[in-house]
């Protein structure tokens, strides 16, 4: 059993290392500058609205997690962080309650773009499965997924 655990640990470390190795130096530098003493968990290339970017999942120095979208040249595009539902602005919760009167938010995420206003993605269960609704900080509905 000890050999199996050791093998799993080695495989996990190799996988994590490979995910970080795929992260260009410009992206790593941007993360290190914006999130001092953070640890990159994964870094993967992706396309968003036709543009290349990297999705970096990290653990911040305070132990919380964040997902950061970074351009190939090292510009932070957006930061997504899970937050407690009671930390969501009142205007957002009021708008959510008006749009989804029978639903209860069970997970919240704050999305902070490099430019512009923060938005809040609220997760909730419905009869047809899970949904997410996004609202601007002042309570305007953006989209439902």
107 and 54 share one domain: no
9 and 71 share one domain: yes
58 and 98 share one domain: no
Domain boundary among 78, 96, 111: 78
Cα separation, 130 vs 118, in Å, equals 23
- If one counts the domains in the chain, the total is 2
Domain boundary among 78, 94, 117: 78
60 and 110 share one domain: no
Kindly report, residue by residue over 92-108, the tens digit of the pLDDT: 999 999 999 999 999 99
Kindly report, residue by residue over 64-92, the tens digit of the pLDDT: 999 999 999 999 999 999 999 999 999 99
Q: Residues 6 or more apart from 97 whose CB is under 8 A from it?
A: none
Confidence bin at 31 (pLDDT 50/70/90)? very high
SS (H, E, C) the chain: CHHHHHHHHHHHHHHHHHHHHCCCHHHHHHHHHHCCCCEEEEEEEEEECCEEEEEEEEECCCCCEEEEEECCCCCEEEEEEEECHHHCCHHHHHHHHHHCCCCCEEEEEEEEECCCCCEEEEEEEECCEEEEEEEECCCCEEEEC
Cα separation, 93 vs 88, in Å, equals 7
91 and 135 share one domain: yes
107 and 53 share one domain: no
73 and 104 share one domain: no
Confidence bin at 10 (pLDDT 50/70/90)? very low
96 and 50 share one domain: no
Domain boundary among 78, 93, 128: 78
Q: Which domain holds residue 28?
A: 1-78
98 and 60 share one domain: no
Give the domain CATH number at 35.
3.10.450.360
- The sign one gets for the Cα dihedral 80, 27, 38, 14 is positive
């Amino acid at each position: 059993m000890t050999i199996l655990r050791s093998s799993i640990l080695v495989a996990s470390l190799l996988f994590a290392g490979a995910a970080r190795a795929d992260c260009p130096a410009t992206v790593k530098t941007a993360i290190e500058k914006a999130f001092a003493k953070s640890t990159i968990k994964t870094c993967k290339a992706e396309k968003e609205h036709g543009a290349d970017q990297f999705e970096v999942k990290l653990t911040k120095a305070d132990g919380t997690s964040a997902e950061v979208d970074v351009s190939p040249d090292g510009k932070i595009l957006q930061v997504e962080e899970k937050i407690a539902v009671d930390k969501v602005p009142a205007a957002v919760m009021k708008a959510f309650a008006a749009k989804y009167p029978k639903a209860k938010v069970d997970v919240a995420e704050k999305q902070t773009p490099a430019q512009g206003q923060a938005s809040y993605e609220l997760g909730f269960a419905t009869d047809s499965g899970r949904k997410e609704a996004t609202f601007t900080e002042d309570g305007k509905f953006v989209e439902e997924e």
